[in-house]
């Protein structure tokens, strides 16, 4: 059993990318197994493990189910009860419970990825990576760990914070007997991770938009700061990305092009896919066997002038073979983050209007003309624009929860909405394995 657990841990950190190690793992008998530390003796082995951690972002629990949950659990989409055992219909009815497969997938995917990251970080100082490369590798890993913890805290609230890897535990037990930290503690940890990563990631856009870069770290930091209600930090980081020419990020004039042109100037960070490793979103949201369907309320939210955003919303990742890269962070969000943070902190109305109008102008909808509205009215405009601009990018449910609007808005769903459903339940598997775990209220 020990051999099997170590074998799967090696898989999870991407060791199959190292061909020689693969052969040794597959061919060696349990009595003569490969020590995991052998894999980190070379610089190539460490880089392969890091690449494996990026590959973990392709898991359904990260790029698909967290994104689709943000639409289904809100009022943007419903699921077909006849497909996929009705699990996406269950999410759209907010009928999830500790045994729901999607809930378990998000939890276990996240902790499996975090454990892989921790294993590398534990060994980095004594690994074969060069002294020049180690700070950059550590920074990339901290960025990835922060992203996984962000997905966990926005879905479940406070969660166990694990910063040490354990090769003896399989993915389902990666948080065993670790008590929950509070949501505030988790947000503070995420912010500290990103701030620690910032000096050592590649500058500006970096080398590729599917690897950590200064831009990606600052964009995630701006988003996390908004969730944590650290409005000065959110404004600061969003402004750096918007106003600094050295990054080269731009709003594309054509909204459709954001999702049809790979490596375009609006995207800050994305998960890379190809024919050999396709994404899961397209087959569930468009084409034959569509499982996720837009609701009448979201369709009615678009004006006649907003035809482009309306037409593409559900087909942003519609390439049949799943080769579309899935966008996680883009410049448009930075404008609306800055506008919202300013409105929440009684900031410049002129800047709020300018930022909202940047998004409205591209969409071809009427611009705001008044700089004398109340902050509450500006926040309502921002909520609406975020719903339409980021439809089917996974924001809607989490936006309503973090702004304390979920009960007011979602109670009008045909299925209704109970307040405790703003957090997902801790999955049954975790409750069984972790004696220190406490279930979220209501479940």
Residues 111 and 1: their CA atoms lie apart, in Å, by: 20
Whether residue 184 is contained in a domain is answered as: yes
Confidence of residue 409 (pLDDT cuts 50, 70, 90): very high
Residue 123 pLDDT > 60 = yes
For 382-406, what is the mean pLDDT? 97
Per the structure, how many domains does the chain have? 1
Whether residue 441 is contained in a domain is answered as: no
Whether residue 49 is contained in a domain is answered as: yes
Residues 10 and 432: their CA atoms lie apart, in Å, by: 25
Q: What was the pLDDT predicted at 131? A: 97
Whether residue 6 is contained in a domain is answered as: no
Residues 176 and 162: their CA atoms lie apart, in Å, by: 10
Whether residue 272 is contained in a domain is answered as: yes
Whether residue 28 is contained in a domain is answered as: no
Range of the domain at 293: 40-166+178-410
DSSP per position, 158-203: S-----S--TTS-GGGTTTT-PPPPHHHHHHHHHHHHHHHGGGSPS
Confidence of residue 36 (pLDDT cuts 50, 70, 90): confident
Whether residue 248 is contained in a domain is answered as: yes
CATH number of the domain encompassing residue 199: 1.25.40.390
Whether residue 344 is contained in a domain is answered as: yes
Residue 283 pLDDT > 70 = no
Residue 29 pLDDT > 70 = no
Let me know: does 343 contact 382? Beta carbons within 8 Å. yes
């Amino acid at each position: 059993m020990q051999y099997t657990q170590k074998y799967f841990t090696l898989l999870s950190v991407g060791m199959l990318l190292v061909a020689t190690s693969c052969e040794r793992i597959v061919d060696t008998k349990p009595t003569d197994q490969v020590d995991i530390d052998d894999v980190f003796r070379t610089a190539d082995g460490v880089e392969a493990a890091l690449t494996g951690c990026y590959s973990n972002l392709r898991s359904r629990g990260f790029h698909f189910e967290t994104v689709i949950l943000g639409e289904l659990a809100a009022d943007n989409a419903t699921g077909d009860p006849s497909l996929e055992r009705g699990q996406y219909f269950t999410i759209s009815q907010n009928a999830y419970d500790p045994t729901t497969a999607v809930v378990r997938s998000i939890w276990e995917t996240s902790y499996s990825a975090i454990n892989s990251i921790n294993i590398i970080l534990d060994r980095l100082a004594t690994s074969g990576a060069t002294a020049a490369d180690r700070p950059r590798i550590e920074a990339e890993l901290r960025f990835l760990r922060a992203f996984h913890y962000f997905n966990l805290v926005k879905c479940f609230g406070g969660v166990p914070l694990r910063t040490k890897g354990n090769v003896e535990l399989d993915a389902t037990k990666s948080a065993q007997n670790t008590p929950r930290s509070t949501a505030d503690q988790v947000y503070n940890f995420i912010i500290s991770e990103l701030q620690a990563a910032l000096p050592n990631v590649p500058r500006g856009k970096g080398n590729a938009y599917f690897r950590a870069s200064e831009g990606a770290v600052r964009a995630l930091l701006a988003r996390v700061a908004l969730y944590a209600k650290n409005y000065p930090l959110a404004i600061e980081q969003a402004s750096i990305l918007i106003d600094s020419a050295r990054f080269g990020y731009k709003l594309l004039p054509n909204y459709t092009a954001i999702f049809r042109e790979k490596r375009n100037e609006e995207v800050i960070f994305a998960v890379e896919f190809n024919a050999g490793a396709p994404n899961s979103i397209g087959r569930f949201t468009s084409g034959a066997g569509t499982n996720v369907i837009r609701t009448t309320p979201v369709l009615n939210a678009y004006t006649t002038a907003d035809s482009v955003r309306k037409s593409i919303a559900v087909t942003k990742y519609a390439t049949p073979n799943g080769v579309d890269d899935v966008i996680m962070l883009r410049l448009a969000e930075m404008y609306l983050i800055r506008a919202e943070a300013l409105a929440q902190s009684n900031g410049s109305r002129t800047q709020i209007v300018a930022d909202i109008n940047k998004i409205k102008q591209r969409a071809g909808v009427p611009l705001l003309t008044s700089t004398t509205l109340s902050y509450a009215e500006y926040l309502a405009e921002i909520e609406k624009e975020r719903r339409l601009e980021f439809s089917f990018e996974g924001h809607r449910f989490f936006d309503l929860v973090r702004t304390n609007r979920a009960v007011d808005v979602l109670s009008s769903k045909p299925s209704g909405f109970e307040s405790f459903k703003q957090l997902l339940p801790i999955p049954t598997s975790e409750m069984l394995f972790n004696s220190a775990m406490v279930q979220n209220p209501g479940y």
